[in-house]
A = this chain, B = another copy of it.
Amino acid sequence: MTSEIILFGVGAMGQRIARLASGRGHRIRAAIDMDPAKRGVPLGRLAGLADPLAGPAITSDVEQALRGAPATVLHATASFLRDVAGEIEICLTHGHDVISIAEEMSCPQAASASIATRLEATAKRHDARVMGTGVNPGFAMDILVLALTVPCGRVDHIHATRTNDLSDFGPTVLHSQGVGLTPEGFEKALQAGKVVGHVGFGQSIALIARHLGWSVDSVNETREPIISSVARETPHLRIVPGEVAGCRHCASAHVGGREVLRLEHPQQIRPEAEGQETSDHIRITGDQTIDMRITPEIAGGAGTAAAAVNALAYLGHAPAGLVHLTDLPLTSPRMTTTSPRGAMR
């Protein structure tokens, strides 16, 4: 079963989504982006589809793009709820379902209860569904954690660590993690809100807590510089020993005064320079201990695009309103045909 799609945001992630969705046979009937440089360009050319003339021309006319029968909007513009809520509401108002990769959309209540309530009401009023997904939040530190609790009789503590490599990212991402700063510079940038670390711990904690029935009474977060003891280099920048290679962002959640969840996400360039291998590591302690490791870590970019396109087959079965990944069956890739070649593509 293929879907009619409207793509909202045709940056690097939107382009990945376009390639994957059209490869699966979904029809992208409109593509929205606010960048004047993209206006009028065929989606096929911009996203590198097999046929460069395939797909609609990119438009910044949102109202026009959203006209027509209900479809599913794949939304990939920004991370924070306050920046995306307006865009998503317009889509819902037109009766379209929305799958967003905005980090805070995987559990918007954790960012703003009032905006979440508004999204839920708007979706219900227009018989539409809205959800967020991605690799993190949305999988590596929440859905995969919850999957591992299925055979647990009792969960006392969860510890998830995602160690990744920022070397492929450009200046914007590197600056948001403080890469290249001195330790003092990192501290100042942190105070000024320029080093943000990971976006999504609040969502992962909320997804886990609501699914396990935990009533979390406090969350602590720390952001520390990862100070390199060796020189490290990427295509974008070079750091010397003593400079910051990245940010170790941690969050812990407490129930009844006791830590029940600890999330650690050291993000840095060239972790292998100091013998760090990248991985997703989850350790659950309770009536049994489950120690899981994925090496190397699940790819963030490719995985987030896949998670969004995979969700197309599931969202339509949910009741109208705000939908959480934890309400759905596992959003595995659903092959659009059962023919042998189709099944393998």
Contact = CB atoms under 8 A, between A and B. Distances in A.
B290 A293 contact: no
A331 B152 CA distance: 10
Contact of A335 (B213, B294, B304): B213
B151 A147 contact: no
Interface residues of A, number: 64
B139 A344 contact: no
A326 B330 contact: yes
Q: Work out how many copies of this chain go into the complex.
A: 2
Interface in A294-313: 294-295, 298-299, 302-307, 309-310
B257 A340 contact: yes
A141 to B, nearest CB: 12
Contacts of A343: 212-215, 255-256, 260
A170 B330 CA distance: 36
Interface string A6-25: 00000000000000100000
Given A329-B328, A332-B212, A151 B287 contact: no
A8 to B, nearest CB: 20
Interface stretch (A46-54, A153-161, A228-236, A238-246): A153-161
Given A329-B328, A340-B257, A153 B302 contact: yes
Interface in A222-280: 255-258, 260
Nearest to A216: B343
Contact of A293 (B144, B292, B303, B329): B292
B215 A338 contact: yes
26 contacts: A20-B153, A146-B330, A147-B147, A147-B330, A149-B332, A149-B333, A150-B306, A150-B307, A150-B310, A151-B303, A151-B304, A153-B305, A153-B333, A154-B345, A211-B329, A211-B332, A212-B333, A213-B338, A214-B335, A214-B343, A215-B343, A255-B344, A256-B340, A260-B343, A287-B306, A288-B303
